[in-house]
């Protein structure tokens, strides 16, 4: 039966009836739960506490007089060996229902279930907290009197906290993560326990293991003790759990790093133990305990607390650190949540933690104390069950919205944690326990700095540090020792680049024992404008008295905006096609939403949008967002236009520059795809083949169906397929080069593919490309299980006049779906007529009627089947591919059918910032025709002012510019007139066609002119009238010497040698090759790149001018295909 919502029903069978036998499981509530004498008279055995409920066993023979406050569990439950308590509030939050058959008792806050693997798995998957009800009973302890030092923080505690080290903390945490898994069911859990034991023992502490069983396995809790000097039987605990889970703790897990849960708490226990054992002693005993079995229902801590010896030992309190490494995203300062039950001693410990926060980490933590006796799903609850005062400290309300998002996952790693936050929590917990245990102070003077008070009345006067503020600091100094410290000097030390001290020393006079002395606003500092939000300053405080010296660290936190780009919406509804994508020729608005994720407001936030692309203009580059508070948002529109002469697809690099009140500046770089990526070719593959479809404007093929089927009026011949999965063989009318190999024959398979060479392969089951499936040297216009033997035709034809060889599949039936018919063709281009830079042939796929294309492979593949282009595989297209349908054409070629390879570069040399009165801007340019054909083109230089005004400064038309010819002017300069306004400029070089702004290649550098900005200035009317050098007046050529084709690659000796200042380098190429000819100095530093592009077969020469170099030995290195050679030359001036 079920006992519902705290309504206690007792079987009349047992009311006021003496029963015989053993013990029965019951739940006790109401007044009886707090009546210790009555519970003892009933011989009640306590197994667990949860708020106002006691869960335990009662003799069947007891004469039960309190029937309305005692509930029996459901039939069939005789003990607690498989009973679990589940948090009902969490069940409601996620909408998870537990089957009625599993529930044996329920209230509004929790249910008791008969646990099975299936039910527990469901709970784990939904992150629902649960705990096992202890099979062992606890003594019912009377409450202790609260400690008498609740409102008096011992000043020596500050001395102790000075020893806390974040480095040491991380050194304890990293090995815990490195176990990979610490799941209690994995043997690594034992390894972790032994590691912790070894650390305790290395500190000189008395330490031991306590074993318990879980699932038939022996596992270990680890305990260490710092014995008290005056009251050793009075004991305080600092605890955590060392096991971990990635979400399914009831089974072994290969990965469960558990950095936050609860490596963060275990490392804190180890660091507390290290600090307290490093020469400090206390009146009372402090124990450090870490448990296994936590994630399986607190099994380790239950075994531990149920076996505490009692006797003379007085367990005064427990602090449980469970998940203390994630500060969350709440406004500063981050929370630390402290759970307590109603025991006044537990409340006293929670208050002491609050006191320690105020005393030692004020401003860094926001304590949130929650009285919740039903929060029993961490190891502190096992101590509550045993009647021992305890509190739980964790980073957020249990399973709340700001909890670590990597909780119970394989990504619970150190890289996601915040060590400074964990250290502040550690100091609060350690400070509380150290004070409660009563430290034995020093006999001599002992000074420690006691925090810092900030006076920012010269800033916004809110008592905290913000960017750009000038602050005054008051630092109290406590004498925690046993003698006075005369004439105390205090000096501050800090190397942090975000703070500079203008007053860093003060004399505090004599500080008597137990006294605190402060000099108000004794120190002064300035905070940098670019200080990051929540940046932590560790200020070293050096205190000296005579020959004695003490060092403390005080911490301060800085606050600043942190602007994020939350959303960018492209509105092209008026100036474009309304598809929400910026495309060439469109005028759009960028609706940019910014959020402030920092801890301080962005006041009067002005934001400027800029772009480095010459194809992008921004008519409204700057917008005001007003003031964005922490956690707030703002949205503004920026006009952004893309030139109609831009490529059909490119990436543009943008920058958002933020400026807020007080001089705060930040920026964000981001890239955006402009146009449609399907306008780019698919590929290239490793060999160099690319696939251009009809949308790859302006370089894609034009669809022009060539009808060769004789049944459709064509001139071709039919291939007579009579069997399913059949391959026929044809002799090519011309030699075809494919992936560098020469072929005179093809194999045509009925299943929509062709292979160069001879093959008997008939593969019908299409696969990805590249793949070992299918034939080598395959071209696949539509690889699928086709049936031309049943319906449709396959024909071939040589168009000798056009140099084309065509294979056509016409109305061929698909095997499945059988109603689908497919028409497509392959066109092979004679490589002697349609030449490419590599000599490889071009291949064209064209598509007619396609009733179905849901299952096929389209692409090409090499002989070794480890390279190729997969245009389409079973509805998955290449990123750059357009969909295949009637009218689609795809050209496969090794030539870059795109932008001519006239590469240009411009480099800043000197001159910026140009003075208000004008001056010379020095720069260098370099360019080379890296293609394989001569070029006609324009080359020009533009000035771009404040991202808005573009003016052409230098322009030259070039004709018949040969492959390998170069422009190299490292010493050019431009006279910037006095009248040009001040501001930000860009100096940009282009190759292509002007004034159409068809841009092949471009490069730029930024420079500044001093003076006031004037966006209305007329640059065209104010170009310089003085003479200046034409940077395009001199070319360096590298040409073939004669038409002889060498038999092998070679690199000749330069001549003359030695030389001054120029020499000739020569090399031989037996085949057309991609050539790199580079000059290095003797140290290996590159000094010149003479050739970088395709060169035809032949003997070549190039001139190296070393007029700007020093005398010495230089090396020249040639790379041509797989050929490499190096020569040596001597420059002698």
The pLDDT tens digits for 870-900 are: 999 999 999 999 999 999 999 999 876 455 6
Under the banding of pLDDT at 50, 70 and 90, the label for residue 262 is: very high
The model's pLDDT over 788-799, given as tens digits with 9 standing for 90+, comes to: 999 999 999 999
CATH 2.60.40.2550 fits 1038-1131, yes or no: yes
The burial of 955, by beta-carbon neighbours within 10 Å (0-12 exposed, 13-18 middle, 19 or more buried), is given as middle
| Banded model confidence at residue 7, pLDDT cuts 50, 70, 90 | very low
Domain 447-557 bears CATH identifier 2.60.40.10: yes
Digit-coded pLDDT (tens) for 530-546: 999 999 999 999 999 99
Instruction: Please report the DSSP string for 462-507 in residue order.
Output: SSSEETT-EEEEE--EEE-SSS-EEEEEEEEE---TTEEEEE-EEE
**Mean pLDDT over each residue of the chain, to the nearest integer:** 89
Strands 889-893 and 843-850: antiparallel
- How far apart, in Å, are the Cα atoms of 1040 and each of 17, 838, 1099? 116, 18, 5
Question: Which among 940, 948, 1033, 946 is positioned nearest to 995, based on CA atoms?
Answer: 940
Distance CA 144, CA 387 (A): 10
Per DSSP, 334 falls in state: P
Beta bridge partners of 794: 719, 809
10 falls in which pLDDT band (50, 70, 90)?
Answer: very low
CB-CB neighbours of 819 under 10 Å: 9
DSSP state of 1054: P
| pLDDT tens by residue, 368-416 | 999 999 999 999 999 999 999 999 999 988 777 888 999 999 999 999 9
Rounded CA-CA distance 323/929 in Å is 62
Fold held by 563-675: Immunoglobulin-like (2.60.40)
Of the candidates 773, 790, 771, the one whose C-alpha atom is nearest the C-alpha of residue 726 is 790
Tokens of 131: 């705990």
Closest CA to 425 of 331, 328, 336, 552: 336
- pLDDT at position 883 is 94
What average pLDDT does this structure show over 16-40? 75
Whether 77 has a pLDDT exceeding 90, the answer reads no
- The per-residue pLDDT for range 728-737, each reduced to its tens digit, is 999 999 999 9
Q: pLDDT band for position 20 (50/70/90)? A: very low
First to last CA, the chain: 106
Cis, peptide link before residue 820, omega less than 30° from 0: no
| Extended beta strands in 19-156, E state | 23-28, 45-50, 53-59, 70-72, 83-87, 103-106, 110-114, 130-132
Least confident range from 128-137, 806-815, 1072-1081: namely 1072-1081
Q: Which residue in this structure is represented by tokens 């005062």? A: 389
Domains 563-675 and 902-1022 share a fold: yes
Backbone angles phi, psi at 1080, to 5 degrees: -125, 150
> Which residue, 327, 267, 323, is CA-closest to 294?
323
Q: Name the 3-class secondary structure at 414.
A: helix
CA–CA distance, 446 with 459 (Å, rounded to integer): 35
Percent residues over pLDDT 70 in the chain: 95
Q: How many CB atoms lie within 10 A of CB 960?
A: 8
CA dist 784 to 652, 693, 1038, Å? 40, 21, 50
Rg (CA), the chain: 41
Axis-axis angle for helices 419-436, 265-276 (nearest 10) = 50
Cβ–Cβ under 8 Å, residues 102 and 96:
no
pLDDT per position as a tens digit, 749-761: 999 999 999 999 9
Alpha-carbon separation of residue 1015 from 247, 898, 985, 1024, 1040 (angstroms): 60, 37, 12, 19, 51
CA atoms of 691 and 895, how far apart (whole Å): 10
CA 785 to each of CA 791, 818, 853: distance values in angstroms, whole numbers, following the listed order:
13, 10, 12
Tell me yes or no: is domain 156-324+407-436 CATH 3.40.630.10: yes
Name which residue leads in pLDDT, 1059 or 755: 755
Do residues 968 and 1023 lie in contact, with contact meaning Cβ atoms separated by under 8 Å? no
The pLDDT of residue 944 is: 93
Q: Tell me which of 834 and 924 has the higher pLDDT.
A: 924
Output DSSP code: residue 746: E
pLDDT at residue 599, as a whole number = 93
Question: What is the secondary structure of 139-174 as a DSSP string?
Answer: --PPPPPPPS-TT---THHHHHHTT--HHHHHHHHH
For residue 746, report the phi and psi dihedrals to the nearest 5 degrees: -130, 155
* Percent of all residues in the chain with a pLDDT value above 90, rounded to a whole number: 66
Q: How many CB atoms lie within 10 A of CB 1106?
A: 20
pLDDT at position 153: 86
902-1022 has which CATH code?
2.60.40.3880
Task: Report domain extents, the chain.
Answer: 23-132, 156-324+407-436, 447-557, 563-675, 679-892, 902-1022, 1038-1131
Determine contact, residues 724/750, Cβ cutoff 8 Å: yes
DSSP assignment string, 767-794: --SS-SSS-SSEEEEEES-B-TTTS-EE
**Mean pLDDT value of segment 335-361:** 93
Confidence grade of residue 11 (pLDDT, cut at 50, 70, 90): very low
Q: State residue 891's pLDDT score.
A: 95
Question: pLDDT for 469-518, tens place per residue?
Answer: 999 999 999 999 889 999 999 999 999 999 999 999 999 999 999 899 99
> Span 125-148, mean pLDDT?
81
How is residue 44 annotated by DSSP? -
Q: Taking residues 650-661, what's their average pLDDT?
A: 93
User: Starting at the edge strand that comes first in sequence, how are the strands of the sheet with 485-493 ordered?
Assistant: 465-466, 548-559, 536-545, 485-493, 505-511
For the CA atoms of 736, 737, 739, 745, the dihedral, rounded to the nearest 10 degrees, stands at 40
Element (H, E) at 617: strand 616-617
Angle at CA of residue 117, ends 115 and 123, nearest 5°:
75
Alpha helices (H) along 54-98? 88-94
934 in Cβ contact with 961 (< 8 Å): yes
Cα–Cα distance between 481 and 511 in angstroms, integer? 10
């Amino acid at each position: 039966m079920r006992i519902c919502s705290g309504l206690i029903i007792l079987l009349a069978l047992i009311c006021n009836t003496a029963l015989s036998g053993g013990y029965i499981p019951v739940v006790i509530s109401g007044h009886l739960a707090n009546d210790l004498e009555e519970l003892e008279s009933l011989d009640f055995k306590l197994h667990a506490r949860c708020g106002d409920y006691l869960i335990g066993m009662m003799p069947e023979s007891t004469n039960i007089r309190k029937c309305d406050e005692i509930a029996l569990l459901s039939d069939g439950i005789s003990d607690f060996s498989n009973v679990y308590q589940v948090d009902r509030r969490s069940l409601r939050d996620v909408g998870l229902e537990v089957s009625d058959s599993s529930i044996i008792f329920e209230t509004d806050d929790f249910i008791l279930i008969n646990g099975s693997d299936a039910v527990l798995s469901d709970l784990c998957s939904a992150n629902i907290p649960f705990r096992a009800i202890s099979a062992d009973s606890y003594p019912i302890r009377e409450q202790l009197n609260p400690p008498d030092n609740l409102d008096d923080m011992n000043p020596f505690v500050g001395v102790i906290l000075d020893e806390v080290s974040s480095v040491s903390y991380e050194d304890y945490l990293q090995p815990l993560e490195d176990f990979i898994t610490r799941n209690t069911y994995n043997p690594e859990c034992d390894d972790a326990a032994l590691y912790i034991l070894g650390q305790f023992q290395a500190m000189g502490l008395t330490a031991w293991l306590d074993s318990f069983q879980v699932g038939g396995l022996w596992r270990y809790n680890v305990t260490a003790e710092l014995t008290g000097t005056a009251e050793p039987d009075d004991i305080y605990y600092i605890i955590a759990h060392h096991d971990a889970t990635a979400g399914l703790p009831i089974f072994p897990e290969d990965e469960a790093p558990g950095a936050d849960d609860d490596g963060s708490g275990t490392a804190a226990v180890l660091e507390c133990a290290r600090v307290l054992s490093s020469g400090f002693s206390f009146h009372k005993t402090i124990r450090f305990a870490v448990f296994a079995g936590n994630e399986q229902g607190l099994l380790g801590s239950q075994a531990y607390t149920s076996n505490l010896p009692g006797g003379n030992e007085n367990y005064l309190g427990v602090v449980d650190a469970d998940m203390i490494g994630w500060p969350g995203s709440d406004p500063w300062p981050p929370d630390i949540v402290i759970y307590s039950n109603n025991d006044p001693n537990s409340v006293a410990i929670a208050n002491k933690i609050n006191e320690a926060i105020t005393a030692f980490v004020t401003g860094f933590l926001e304590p949130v104390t929650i009285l919740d006796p039903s929060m029993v799903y961490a190891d502190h609850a096992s101590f509550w069950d045993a009647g021992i005062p305890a509190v739980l400290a964790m980073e957020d309300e249990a399973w709340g919205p700001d909890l670590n998002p990597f909780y119970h996952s394989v990504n619970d790693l150190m890289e996601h944690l915040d060590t400074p936050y964990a250290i502040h929590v550690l100091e609060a917990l350690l400070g509380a326990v150290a004070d409660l245990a009563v430290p034995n102070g020093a006999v001599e003077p002992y000074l420690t700095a006691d925090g810092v008070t900030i006076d920012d009345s010269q800033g916004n006067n809110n008592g905290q540090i913000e960017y750009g503020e000038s602050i005054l600091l008051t630092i109290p100094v406590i004498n925690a020792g046993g003698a006075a410290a005369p004439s105390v000097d205090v000096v501050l030390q800090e190397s942090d680049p975000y703070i500079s001290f203008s007053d860093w020393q003060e004399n505090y006079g004599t500080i008597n024992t137990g006294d605190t002395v402060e000099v108000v606003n004794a120190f002064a500092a300035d905070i940098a404008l670019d200080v990051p939000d929540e940046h932590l300053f560790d200020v070293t405080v050096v205190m000296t008295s005579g020959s004695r010296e003490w060092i403390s660290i005080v911490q301060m936190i800085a606050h600043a905006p942190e602007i994020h780009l939350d959303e960018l919406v492209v509105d092209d509804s008026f100036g474009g096609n309304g598809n929400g994508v910026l495309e060439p020729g469109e005028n759009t608005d960028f609706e940019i939403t910014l959020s402030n994720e920092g801890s301080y407001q962005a006041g009067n936030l002005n934001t400027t949008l800029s772009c480095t692309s010459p194809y992008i203009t921004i008519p409204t580059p700057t917008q005001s967002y007003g003031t964005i508070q922490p956690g707030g948002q703002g949205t503004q529109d920026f006009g952004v236009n893309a030139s109609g002469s831009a490529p059909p697809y490119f990436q543009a690099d943008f920058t958002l520059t933020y400026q807020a009140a007080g001089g705060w500046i930040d920026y964000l770089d981001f890239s955006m795809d402009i146009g449609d990526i399907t306008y780019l070719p698919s590929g290239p593959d490793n060999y160099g083949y690319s696939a251009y479809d009809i949308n790859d404007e302006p370089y894609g093929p034009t669809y022009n169906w060539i009808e060769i089927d004789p049944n459709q009026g064509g001139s071709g011949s039919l291939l007579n397929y009579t069997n399913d999965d059949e391959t026929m063989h044809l002799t090519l009318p011309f030699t075809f080069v494919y992936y560098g190999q020469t072929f005179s024959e093809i194999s045509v398979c009925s299943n929509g593919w062709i292979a160069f060479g001879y093959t008997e392969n008939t593969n019908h089951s299409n696969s990805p490309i590249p793949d070992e499936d299918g034939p080598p040297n395959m071209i696949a216009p539509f690889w699928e299980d086709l049936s031309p033997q049943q319906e449709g035709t396959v024909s071939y034809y040589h168009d000798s006049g056009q140099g084309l060889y065509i294979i056509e599949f016409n109305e061929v039936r698909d095997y499945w779906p059988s109603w689908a018919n497919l028409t497509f063709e392959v066109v092979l281009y004679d490589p002697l007529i349609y030449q490419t830079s590599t000599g490889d042939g071009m291949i064209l796929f064209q598509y007619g009627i396609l009733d179905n294309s849901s299952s096929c492979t389209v692409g090409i593949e090499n002989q070794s089947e480890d390279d190729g282009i997969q245009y389409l595989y079973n509805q998955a297209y290449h990123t750059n591919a357009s969909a295949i349908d009637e009218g689609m054409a795809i050209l496969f070629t090794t030539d870059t059918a795109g932008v001519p390879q006239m590469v240009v570069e411009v480099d800043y040399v000197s001159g910026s910032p140009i003075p208000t009165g004008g001056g010379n801007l020095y720069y260098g340019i370099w360019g080379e025709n890296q293609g394989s054909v001569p070029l006609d083109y324009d080359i020009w230089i533009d000035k771009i002012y404040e991202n808005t005004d573009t003016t052409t400064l230098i322009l030259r038309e070039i004709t018949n510019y040969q492959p390998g010819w170069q422009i190299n002017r490292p010493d050019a300069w431009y006279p910037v007139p006095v009248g040009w306004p001040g501001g930000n400029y860009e100096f940009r070089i282009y190759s292509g066609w002007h004034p159409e702004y068809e841009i092949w290649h471009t490069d730029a550098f930024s420079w500044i002119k001093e003076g006031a900005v004037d966006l209305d200035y007329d640059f065209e009317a104010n170009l310089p009238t003085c003479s200046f050098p034409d940077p395009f007046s001199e070319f360096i050529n590298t040409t073939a010497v004669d038409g002889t084709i060498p038999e092998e690659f070679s690199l000749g000796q330069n001549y003359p040698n030695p030389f001054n200042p120029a020499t000739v380098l020569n090399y031989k190429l037996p085949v057309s090759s991609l050539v790199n000819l580079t000059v290095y100095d003797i140290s290996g530093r590159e000094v010149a790149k003479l050739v970088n592009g395709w060169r035809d077969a032949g003997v070549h020469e190039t001139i190296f001018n070393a007029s700007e170099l020093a005398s010495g030995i230089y090396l020249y290195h040639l790379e041509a295909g797989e050929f490499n050679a190096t020569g040596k030359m001597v420059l002698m001036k």
